[in-house]
Amino acid sequence: MSSADSAPLALDRPDLFIDGHWRAPRGGAQTDVVEAATEQVLGAAADATAADVDDAVGAARRALPGWAGLPIAARTDLLDRFAGELKARARATAALSSRENGMPIALSVGVNGYAPAMMVRYYADVIRNGAGDDVRASALGTRTVVRHEPVGVVAAITPWNYPQSLAAMKIAPALAAGCTVVLKPSPETALDAYVFADAALAAGLPAGVLNIVPGGRETGAHLVEHPGVDKVAFTGSTPAGRAIGEVCGRLLRPVTLELGGKSASVILDDADLDHVTARLADVSLVNNGQTCHACTRILAPRSRYDEVVDAVTETVAALRIGDPLDQATQIGPLVTRAQQRRVLDYIDIGVAAGHRLTTGGGVPDGVDTGWYVAPTVFADVDNAARLAQEEIFGPVLTITPYTDDAEAVAIANDSPYGLGGSVWTADEERGVAIADAIESGTVGVNHYALDLGAPFGGVKASGLGRELGPEGLVPYRRTKSIYL
């Protein structure tokens, strides 16, 4: 551990991190970051202009040959040091992220605190353990060297909901592959992104290997179009992903898109409901519902429908709402007033559509500060309803009845999205058969939790490409075949 352990992190970040040092943005602008629970200004981050993005991409380009050309041992040693510096800051990073976006601290310590260090170490190991070039015998009796080259300068653009781990899912494989990176974090959570710069400096990463330019959509759009960028890695909403995908299509620029979701929890008729409800908060309402893979559509067998509705309602009504920095809190505030408004509007849509509200339905009683929404359940929701089709991105669940397994699968798949999903059953084989039939990039049987060692990503409107696992390295490398 370094001396950075648990030291509070700076909240005033007027500079950008470009070419290995701090520099004021050319426009001199800063954006306030507001604390979700208190509605008070927490700090301020630099706001990058297009000219700053040009500088950052230039620095990343200049750093590319040196970083790509480093022997694997030297590159992975530096990544190990980078991981150590991130880990040393993990608890402070987790607390800062929770203050920014309202994530309960019990979750944030893992996903914002320790996960980035784990990912950097993981990809250093993948590279170290021989994901390298190989020589193949050809059908002509000759040999071919298949090289893996870094794809080049990576533009990484991330949202506010899991700011640290979503950035690390891009930075870690990119740096391990020998790419250099320009990260554009979301303005709502720009402060925690600076931890990557602090750690890079402390670890001695060469100048320009990692550059950080907080800013809004226009800054992101300029980065995506930049002629000096070789690959775009984006996590965010489906509309923004479509816009970015169109630009990358025109430029023939490789792009990975991790987008929205509306996943289903299929509760089979033999499920242990106590087990389902014990995991419900983690699977369906994780991070206050602000989670792309949250299983927010609950599909319940008609034979046990009332029992499921009662159990889900009782569990959700008992969740502890509170200060995101309190270890016991299960539901914190949403990230912004706008996000709170959006979720409350969806609740109004559900009430107007005549769905049966069984718990929640607005701002929690007695709360007048912080962007809280009480966890909410609507029962008897037809899957064609807006509440079941559209991503709400807040603590709102729908319950829909089904008659048999085939209908459950059909309802689960009747969605524009395909990111997560879960099946609950006493019979794992039956659960795996249903998981196989669900059109989605990931499905859990009797739980749902990302595995850093296995690929994660979506189908349909949930995106293109995969992150995590050894497969997460693939988008950051291209092959070259040299015929000998």
CB of 87 to ligand NAD, least distance (A): 23
Q: Which is nearer to ligand NAD, 271 or 438 (CB)?
A: 438
CB of 258 to ligand NAD, least distance (A): 3
The DSSP symbol for 139 reads T
Q: Which is nearer to ligand NAD, 8 or 250 (CB)?
A: 250
CB of 162 to ligand NAD, least distance (A): 6
According to CB under 6 A, which residues from 346 to 365 bind ligand NAD?
Answer: none
Q: Which is nearer to ligand NAD, 224 or 445 (CB)?
A: 224
The DSSP symbol for 331 reads B
Q: For residues 333 and 440, give the distance between their C-alpha atoms in angstroms, rounded to a whole number.
A: 29
Any contact of residue 217 with ligand NAD (CB under 6 A)?
yes
Q: Which is nearer to ligand NAD, 87 or 293 (CB)?
A: 293
Q: Which is nearer to ligand NAD, 346 or 393 (CB)?
A: 393
The tokens describing 224, both together, are 């995506």
Q: Which residue is nearest to ligand NAD (CB)?
A: 220
Size of the site for ligand NAD (CB under 6 A): 31
Any contact of residue 475 with ligand NAD (CB under 6 A)?
no
User: Closest Cα partner for 349 from 340, 361, 336?
Assistant: 361
Q: Where are the beta strands (DSSP E) in 229-335?
A: 231-235, 255-258, 264-267, 297-301
Any contact of residue 458 with ligand NAD (CB under 6 A)?
yes
Residue the block writes with tokens 């100048």:
207
User: Closest Cα partner for 197 from 77, 79, 44, 82?
Assistant: 82
Q: For residues 58 and 402, give the distance between their C-alpha atoms in angstroms, rounded to a whole number.
A: 56
Q: Is 414 exposed, middle or buried (0-12, 13-18, 19+ CB in 10 A)?
A: middle
CB of 290 to ligand NAD, least distance (A): 7
Q: Which is nearer to ligand NAD, 115 or 311 (CB)?
A: 115
Binding span for ligand NAD by CB under 6 A among 16-24, 30-38, 65-73, 259-267: 259-267
Any contact of residue 243 with ligand NAD (CB under 6 A)?
yes
Active site residue 149: no
State the catalytic residue, choosing from 35, 85, 225, 258: 258
Q: Is 336 exposed, middle or buried (0-12, 13-18, 19+ CB in 10 A)?
A: middle
CB of 394 to ligand NAD, least distance (A): 11
Q: For residues 22 and 20, give the distance between their C-alpha atoms in angstroms, rounded to a whole number.
A: 7
* 340: Cα within 13 Å, side-chain hemisphere: 21
What is the signed CA dihedral for 338, 343, 347, 349, rounded to 10 degrees?
Answer: 70
Residue the block writes with tokens 């970083």:
67
CB of 360 to ligand NAD, least distance (A): 21
User: Closest Cα partner for 238 from 415, 378, 372?
Assistant: 415
The tokens describing 404, both together, are 């048999």
CB of 448 to ligand NAD, least distance (A): 14
The tokens describing 312, both together, are 């889900």
- Tell me the β-bridge partners of 459: 418
Q: Among 173, 236, 375, 394, which residue interacts with ligand NAD (rule: CB under 6 A)?
A: 236
Any contact of residue 292 with ligand NAD (CB under 6 A)?
yes
Q: Among 102, 391, 422, 476, which residue interacts with ligand NAD (rule: CB under 6 A)?
A: 391
Report yes or no: 360 and 260 within 8 Å, Cβ to Cβ: no
User: Closest Cα partner for 263 from 83, 448, 130, 117?
Assistant: 448
Binding span for ligand NAD by CB under 6 A among 157-165, 275-283, 358-366, 382-390: 157-165
Any contact of residue 244 with ligand NAD (CB under 6 A)?
yes
The tokens describing 326, both together, are 């309190």
Q: For residues 405 and 273, give the distance between their C-alpha atoms in angstroms, rounded to a whole number.
A: 17
Q: Which is nearer to ligand NAD, 131 or 247 (CB)?
A: 247
* 264-267 and 210-212 strand pairing: unpaired
Q: Among 82, 122, 393, 448, which residue interacts with ligand NAD (rule: CB under 6 A)?
A: 393
Report yes or no: 176 and 473 within 8 Å, Cβ to Cβ: yes
According to CB under 6 A, which residues from 173 to 192 bind ligand NAD?
Answer: 184, 186
User: Closest Cα partner for 379 from 271, 278, 298, 272?
Assistant: 298
x/- mask, ligand NAD, residues 17-56, rule CB under 6 A, reads ----------------------------------------
CB of 180 to ligand NAD, least distance (A): 19
Any contact of residue 153 with ligand NAD (CB under 6 A)?
no
- Catalytic residue set: 258
Q: Can you give the binding site for ligand NAD, defined by CB under 6 A?
A: 157-162, 166, 184, 186, 216-217, 220-221, 224, 235-237, 240, 243-244, 258-261, 292, 391, 393, 419, 458, 462-463
